[in-house]
Chain A
Amino acid sequence: MTENEKRGSLPGLTGLIAGAFVILGVFLWMFVSKGLLFVAGLGAFGPGILRELGWLGDQDEFQRQAAHRAGYHAFLVGGLATVLAYSALEWWEETLPVSSEWVLLILIVLWLTCLFSALLGYWGARKTAARVLLVFGSFWALFVLANVVTEATTNRDFGAAAIGALMGTLIVGPFFILAWAAGRWPRTAGFLLLAVSVFFLFFFAPHGAFQWSTVLVRDSLLMVPLAASGLALLREAPEDAPA
């Protein structure tokens, strides 16, 4: 692979190493110690710091411009999120829990804003939305496959496995269909994506009191990527050339 191919193939080697750090860090945070989240931070912010120091030159000028603009967007959104969180804690201190999850929430807002802005700036709305949907569809497909295999092998319930496969196809299929539609009918796909994100809002609705798991998982990792992709697609003019 040439240097340019490495630079253009997302993710390149830098992205793969950084992604491994993020996954490892999240795994350690979930199962070993919450203090080990810094490992994920090394992956999320390390490459950017190395680039700004001039120690890593894996981006061309367009990628750098997209990254710098994304950083500014993350500053604006993250700053707003921080002051809103501060105000909320001050106003509703009796009802809102004071915990380190607030820091985590702002970190996720910062990171998602930066990531999405960079992807939209570099790939454009259609390609970004299509790839987000492919990632979502692939992850759901893995869950469905694991469930089907478990039913078939461990429980020996082939009927349940077949039903699970069928149900899984109904859930996973739309993601891949929308990924294909995002390139051809961006506005229609955008409306549908917004509808799906609203569906997630109610499907994963919390029962009872405020739950951090709902905010961090449902809102940040499920709703926001789909809603952001949908909004970006709505801004696409139908007559634009494909991205």
Chain B
Amino acid sequence: MLDGMTQQELAERVGVTRQTILSIEGGRYNPSVGLALLLADVFGVPVDQLFEIERGERHD
């Protein structure tokens, strides 16, 4: 559960699939700026509280 939401509910609120949410959480996918802002808006927090950059991380 994420802030009272299931992954499916979160996915529906931001317009993506549950697999996409899983992949973001698992670090397999870096969302677009638009999607990152949407996620931050859903949780009511700044974007940099949801995502952080790891030094030396490759940006695919």
User: Which positions in A face B, CB cutoff 8 Å?
Assistant: 2, 4-5, 7-8, 60-63, 65, 122-124, 241, 243
Contacts and interface: CB of A to CB of B under 8 A. Distances in A.
A126 B19 CA distance: 13
B41 interface: no
Interface string B8-48: 10011001111110110010110110010000000000000
Given A2-B12, A4-B11, A62 B29 contact: yes
Contact of A241 (B17, B26, B29, B31): B26
B26 to A, nearest CB: 6
B12 A60 contact: no
Interface of B: 8, 11-12, 15-20, 22-23, 26, 28-29, 31-32, 35
26 contacts: A2-B12, A4-B16, A4-B17, A7-B16, A7-B17, A8-B11, A8-B19, A60-B15, A60-B16, A60-B17, A60-B20, A61-B16, A61-B20, A61-B31, A61-B32, A62-B16, A63-B17, A63-B20, A65-B29, A122-B19, A122-B23, A123-B19, A124-B26, A241-B26, A243-B22, A243-B26
A106 B25 CA distance: 37
A122 B16 CA distance: 13
A124 B28 contact: yes
Contacts of B19: 8, 62, 122-123
A171 to B, nearest CB: 31
Given A60-B20, A62-B23, A63-B20, A4 B15 contact: yes
A61 B20 CA distance: 9
Contacts of B12: 2, 4-5
A65 B31 CA distance: 10
